[in-house]
Amino acid sequence: MPVEMTRQRFEELVGDALDLVPSELMAELNNVVVLVEDHHPEDDSLLGLYEGVALTERDSTYGGVLPDRITIYRDPLLEMCSAEREVIDEVAVTVVHELAHHFGIDDAKLHALGWG
């Protein structure tokens, strides 16, 4: 049975997950915004999504672009968990996973590191 949680509480969990990221890494974020949506419009099972140009791919032509977007999807995360503690853990993993894409780390490397 999915966990029931208000949007406000879920957004707090996303903020808490961001607070767990070392300040040295957070200081390196550049032109990125983190958003919460209920679900991806085309894939209801998607937990999170990074859209943008990873730091490792930016060059001297990068500029004047909209911020990269990290979207955390509330509904599938709540549906896959059976207790709030699980939601807390899964939100943290999802946030770290998507932030890693901003730093240029691909899915294969993330899975190898246990953040898949």
**How do residues 19-34 score in pLDDT, each as one tens digit?**
999 999 899 998 999 9
**pTM of the full structure:** 0.92
Quote the mean pLDDT of the chain.
94
- Given this model, what pLDDT does residue 112 score? 85
Backbone torsions φ then ψ of 70, nearest 5 degrees? -110, 120
Q: How confident is the model at residue 36 (pLDDT cuts 50, 70, 90)?
A: very high
Q: How confident is the model at residue 116 (pLDDT cuts 50, 70, 90)?
A: low
Is 32 within 8 Å of 24 (Cβ atoms)?
A: no
The whole-angstrom separation of Cα 25 and Cα 111 is 20
